[in-house]
Amino acid sequence: MKKVFQKISAVFMAVVVLLSTLSFTIDMHYCGNTLIDAAVFQKAKGCGMKMDVATANSMCSIVKKDCCKEDQIKVKGQDELKISFEKLSVDQQFFVASFVYTYINLFEGIEKKAIAFKEYSPPIVIKQIYKLDETYLI
Tell me the per-residue pLDDT of 16-54, one tens digit each, with 9 for 90 and over. 888 888 888 889 988 888 888 888 888 888 777 766 554
How far is the C-alpha of 32 from the C-alpha of 68, rounded, in Å? 6
How far is the C-alpha of 52 from the C-alpha of 58, rounded, in Å? 12
Residues recorded for the chain: 138
> Is 28:44 a contact under the CB 8 Å cutoff?
yes
C-alpha torsion angle, residues 52, 56, 61, 66 (rounded to 10): 10
pLDDT at 62 (0 to 100): 59
Q: How many helices (H) and strands (E) does the chain have?
A: 3, 3
pLDDT at 12 over 90: yes
Return the domain boundaries, the chain. Answer: 2-79
